Structure 1
Amino acid sequence: MNGEKLQALARARVQELPGADLEHPFGSEWDVYKVRGKVFMLMTDVTGQPIVVVKADPEDGKALREEHADITPGYHMNKQHWITLHPGGTLKKTLVDQLVTESYLLVVANLPQAKRPVDPALFDGADR
């Protein structure tokens, strides 16, 4: 999967997530996606290739990095809680969708209940 396709898939998934907003707090080179003001995904090509950075449970992130050469620790983020998706050949659309959704739900779960756009325990990501 090339970088443009990787970012297009991630962007398309975000558009299906309730309450997700795009901002550019770090300039036009960074697309920063937030839910209720909290970052759950970043996209840029400042590394020389289009990348997607998402939150991940530390154990899941470790397993994903071991399983996929196209997944590395989060670029310019906490290396334990964020992962970077790189263009290449091993990442499938379903995995990209899943990782974006899980990142979103990790952030939503830490919001006060009254601010949550969805119930993370009930949202299965199939609401498309």
Structure 2
Amino acid sequence: MDHTQAHTYLLSKPFSSVGQPFGEGVDVFKVKDKMFATLSPGKYNEGETRHWWLNLKCDPDEAQALRDIFDSVIPGYHMNKRLWNTVILDGTVPRGEIERMIDNSFLLVVAKMTKKQREAVQVYL
């Protein structure tokens, strides 16, 4: 999955929106004003390919398991390292797995909403 495909998938979630509150180059995806993902060009060293980085909320146990399985899943860059993972979009993580991680991040955020907000979103799931 590349950054364009990730962007499209993130915005396909019900009530999702994108903005750049941290400045140009860092897309922040929200569901009903609650952040569930960020997408930005990642760090790189001169001479290396620059990959996009996708930050996703994650269950703490699952977060560590994903880091153990995939070299391109690291603790959340500029995020709570226990609750967020960064997925480096370098092609090594299967698209279906990235979509599953996005879905989980979205659902974790929806689960913390008020009952009224949660029900409004769940109608579309």
**1:95-119, CA deviations, whole angstroms, 9 ceiling, x for partnerless residues?**
1111111101100000001112423
Shift of residue 10, structure 1, vs aligned partner: 1.7
- Say which SS state the counterpart of residue 89 (structure 2) adopts: coil
Shift of residue 46, structure 1, vs aligned partner: 4.8
For residue 78 of structure 1, the aligned residue among 80, 84, 89 is: 80
2:41 corresponds to 1:38:
no
For residue 65 of structure 2, the aligned residue among 63, 77, 80 is: 63
Alpha carbons 1:9, 1:97 under 8 Å: kept:
no
Scaled by the length of structure 2, the TM-score of the pair is 0.86
Shift of residue 90, structure 1, vs aligned partner: 2.3
- Say which SS state the counterpart of residue 109 (structure 2) adopts: helix
> Larger relative CO (CA 8 A, sep 6+): 1 or 2?
1
What is the rounded CA distance, in whole Å, between the counterparts of 2:95 and 2:116 in structure 1?
32
Shift of residue 8, structure 1, vs aligned partner: 1.9
- Structure 2 portions without partners, runs of 5+: 45-50
- Say which SS state the counterpart of residue 12 (structure 2) adopts: coil
**1:23-56, CA deviations, whole angstroms, 9 ceiling, x for partnerless residues?**
1101112100011111100011152331110000
- Say which SS state the counterpart of residue 100 (structure 2) adopts: helix
What is the rounded CA distance, in whole Å, between the counterparts of 1:58 and 1:94 in structure 2?
21
4+ residue stretches of structure 1 with deviation over 6 A? none
What is the rounded CA distance, in whole Å, between the counterparts of 1:89 and 1:104 in structure 2?
22
- The CA RMSD over aligned residues, in Å, is 1.8
- Say which SS state the counterpart of residue 86 (structure 1) adopts: strand
Give the partner amino acid of 1:109: A
Q: How many residues align?
A: 118
- Structure 1 portions without partners, runs of 5+: 124-128
2:121 corresponds to 1:118:
yes
Residue in 2 aligned with 1:126? none
What is the rounded CA distance, in whole Å, between the counterparts of 1:26 and 1:100 in structure 2?
21
Scaled by the length of structure 1, the TM-score of the pair is 0.84
